[in-house]
A and B are shown apart, each in its own frame.
Chain A
Amino acid sequence: MASLTSATRLRGRTRAARPAARAGATGGTVRPQRRAGVLLLLGPFFVLFALTYLAPMAYALWLSFFREKFEGVGWEGPQRVFAGFHNYTRALTDTDFLQGTGRVLLYGLVYVPVLIALAATFALLLDSALTAARRFFQTVLFLPHIVPGLIAAIVWVYLYTPGLSPVIDALDSAGVHVDFLNGGGVLFSLVNIAVWQALGFNMVLIYVALQAIPRNTVEAARIDGAGEIRTAFSVKLPQVFPAVMVATLFTIIGSLQLFTEPQIVQSSGNSSVTGSWTPNMLAYSAAFESNDYHYAATISVLIALLAGVLSFVVTTLANRRNAR
């Protein structure tokens, strides 16, 4: 919510600030001082950014080009050898990695549209005059976002576990038998947890953007005879498109990083979710079960690459639409 409003505000400000900066530049005398000021203000950010983002990424990249070799049984300990692209070919031929990547992509394919559509619908409903108890619904829908992902997963696993879950008992007595934790259904069970959790946040993101729409455009549409639905699709949604794109982008990246929920589901011992079900889980088990940091780093680099490519595609598509 905060990031979006500040982003739009920032955009307005830079537009206004540019001519002023040009004027300053022609003045000449302020320039060195200003540069020092910029350095002072941005310096700490770049130092921290380099230390906490760039350096670990470079280290992970470096790690991914080495591997361990053991002589015979290996009692003498490992030797670290340069591996070239061995770890990458290993990952790209590792069925665990490929299946995991396929799963998160499929998960994203279901999750992202469902979440964005629901978030936009609820935001529009809240924004429309139809909703009376606006604040109440806003709070209720936002509440799950406050629950930590771990706790949410535990609660949902409880609701998904046969023998414990009142939901399953109720369905059983109605003659419906579902297995939330095994087979194809588990993907949707996880999507359900994620939607429940993220809906409120994304709804607020879009709702805030809706609030910023100049009211006269909505009124104009109404005077022209557009109903609520027509107004929503033709006037409101196009104007909040950037907010919807931001929500989509975050959600896509988030779904690639799927970890907590399947990890909890897996540890329940009742589920077909394995310890390498998503690429992040595979990286985790490589690093913290096998102490194979080289392979874990390789998987992380590949996930980052995939997230980068997807983000690029989404932003390019969005920009193209914006330019139109």
Chain B
Amino acid sequence: MFTRTVAALVGLAASLLLASCGLSDDANGNQPTTITYWSWVSGSREMVDRFNATHDDIRVNFELIPSGTSGGYSKMFNAVRAGRAPDIVTVEYPELPGFVTQNVVQPITRYGVEELAGRYPEWTWRQVALGGEVYALPKDIAPQVLFYRADLFEEYGLEPPATWEEYRAEAERLHEEHPDVSMTTFPTADAGLLAGLAWQAGADWFDTSSGQWRVDTTDEATRRVADYWDSLLADGLVTAGPTFAEQHITDLEAGRSLTLIAAPWTAANLSRFVPDLAGTWGVAPLPAWDLAASGNYGGSTMALPVGSPHPEEAMEFARWVSTSPDAIAAAAPVSTAFPANADLADDWRTAVEEANPYTHGMNLAAVAAAAAPTIPPSWEWGPDMTDGFSRLNDETTLDIGLPGGLATAFRDWQDATVDQLRRRGYDVTG
């Protein structure tokens, strides 16, 4: 019995040894390097499949993780701390500064990415170039646009409004003639959308130019946005509620909510949530304040985590994702996220229109491409936006709909954010 066990163990050890020799033999040959990519952004898997089909030297292993703010970022943080980082990850623009200050992502300037800078809108590049280093390659961006029900606009004699003033005037008229129809459902818990609106108006919620953090969500521009929506809500011209929740979807389907402040990625969402409304949507530039401008409402980057085992290969993949028309074509059937790289806008239009009939007749590509460069470049994000967004969502859920609710929410949020960042160990002025 005993000898038999020993013999079996020896045999097992020998075969393992052989197997490992065999493995290292292969590695010395022309085996591709396998890298791991963590993302949750729709279309990522399709991009990876396309990359693997067209590349021999690198093999990308795609791992679907929970979306960043629902656990994905926490997973990355812990993996980096534990020394088990994947090779490359998705990070959204708001979270990038926090990931830099917490040493989760590393600079990629040494991989010669600065030569790509000119391909992206100025503001986009400034979102990834922080403190003198580049930290990520922009993958997609989300210039804000206005989705409107073209069929009902025509029926009610409305025109896509060019300014917020016109938007209000049309909302008033609509309210008078069709009291049960609302111009839009204003989201009660969408901090990213509010940030985009403030961004469009010229606000700078965060600023690091003084060498410290400065937080300002009570400036004139934000105030203007807050007062505008507070008054629309107070006058009953728009309804408020969580967007893409049951009530909102019912209202969209019934034609009781006519516009959406949105971004190109919203098209894919709509095709999933309200497939029956195909062909009824038009896309117009976001109504303007003074000059034509837009805000950003989403988007993501390819970032290199600290401890990435194969940074060279990971950067080659990231560069492909950010610059290749092939990547755009691969993701088009499932995602309508707009490419950050302006060179790819035409490829995107062709690919999305071919793959996604829902977008036909929307004029989405032209509007988005025109909006992208008009986004103000000075906007910065704070060092703890996951918490920041969730706190702002809490504030707006409480306050939207009350008199002066948004203005109150912004003021309370600023106080809480300054307090929170200080307690957290950041240097905050003011």
A interface list, Cβ under 8 A from B: 67-75, 77-78, 90, 94, 161, 163-164, 266, 268-272, 274-276, 285, 287-292, 295
Known A-B contacts A75-B100, A164-B246; the reply to A269 vs B394 at CB < 8 A is: no
Question: What residues on A are CB-neighbors of B183 within 8 Å?
Answer: none
12 contacts between A and B (CB under 8 A): A67-B425, A68-B424, A68-B425, A77-B102, A78-B101, A270-B241, A288-B71, A288-B74, A290-B384, A290-B424, A291-B74, A291-B77
Q: Which of A94, A163, A275, A289 contacts B423 (CB 8 A)?
A: A94
Q: Which of B55-63, B161-169, B206-214 contacts A (4 or more CB under 8 A)?
A: B206-214
Does B278 make an interface contact (CB < 8 A)? no
Q: When the two chains form their complex, are residues A270 and B103 in contact, meaning their CB atoms are under 8 A apart?
A: no
Question: For residue B390, which residue of chain A has the nearest CB?
Answer: A275
Interface size class of B (residues with CB under 8 A): 35 or more
For A269, what are the chain B residues with a Cβ–Cβ distance below 8 Å?
Answer: 188-189, 242, 245, 393, 397
Residues from chain B with a CB closer than 8 A to the CB of A275 are 390-391, 393-394
Closest to B397 in A: A269
Chain B residues with CB under 8 A of A68: 424-425
For B243, the closest partner residue in chain A by CB is A269
B111 within 8 A of partner (CB): no
> How near does chain A come to B261, taking the closest CB pair, in angstroms?
17
Cβ-defined partner of A69 (8 Å) among B241, B242, B425: B425
Given A72-B212, A73-B427, A285-B390, do A163 and B100 touch, yes or no (CB 8 Å)?
A: no
Q: How far is the CB of B383 from chain A (nearest CB, A)?
A: 6
Q: Which residue of A has the minimal Cβ distance to B131?
A: A75
User: How far, in whole Å, are A69 and B130 apart by their CA atoms in the complex?
Assistant: 19
User: Is B387's beta carbon under 8 Å from chain A?
Assistant: yes
**CB atoms of B387 and A285 under 8 A apart:** yes
Given contacts A72-B212, A75-B130, A163-B247, contact A290 B387 (CB under 8 A): yes
Contacts of B390 in A (CB 8 A): 275, 285, 289
The verdict on B67 contacting chain A, using a C-beta distance below 8 Å, is no
Say if the beta carbon of B69 comes within 8 Å of chain A. Answer: yes
Q: Which of B366-398 contact A (CB under 8 A)?
A: 383-384, 386-387, 390-391, 393-394, 397-398
Rounded to whole Å, the gap between the CB of B138 and the closest CB of chain A is 19
B74 x A74 contact (CB < 8 A): no
In the docked arrangement, what's the CA distance between A217 and B425, Å? 65
Interface members, chain B 216-252 (any A CB < 8 Å): 241-242, 245-247
A89 to chain B, nearest CB (A): 10
Of the listed residues A71, A74, A163, A274, the one surrounded by the most CB atoms of chain B closer than 10 A to its CB is A74
> Bound state CA distance, A295 and B384, in angstroms?
14
CB distance from B309 to the nearest CB of A (A): 20
- Give Cα A291 to B188, complex, Å: 26
- Are A271 and B397 in contact, CB atoms less than 8 angstroms apart? yes
Q: Is B242 touching A74 in the complex (CB atoms < 8 A)?
A: no
* Contact (Cβ within 8 A) B100 A272: no
Q: Among B101, B189, B211, B213, find the residue whose CB has the most chain A CB atoms closer than 10 A.
A: B101
Closest to B213 in A: A73
B427 touches A74 (CB 8 A): yes
Q: Tell me whether B156 is interfacial, beta carbon within 8 Å.
A: no
CA distance A270 to B394 in the complex (A): 10
Q: Is B130 a contact partner of A70 (Cβ separation < 8 A)?
A: no
Q: Return chain A residues, CB-CB under 8 Å to B386.
A: 289-290
Interface residues of B in 383-425 (CB under 8 A from A): 383-384, 386-387, 390-391, 393-394, 397-398, 420, 423-425
In the docked arrangement, what's the CA distance between A67 and B424, Å? 8
Closest Cβ of chain A: how far from B412's Cβ, in Å?
A: 11
User: In the complex, A288→B68 CA distance in Å?
Assistant: 10
Apart from A163-B247, A274-B398, A291-B77, list 16 A-B contacts with CB within 8 A: A70-B427, A72-B211, A72-B427, A73-B212, A74-B427, A75-B130, A75-B133, A164-B247, A269-B245, A274-B391, A274-B394, A288-B74, A289-B69, A290-B387, A291-B74, A295-B424
Q: How far is the CB of B244 from chain A (nearest CB, A)?
A: 10
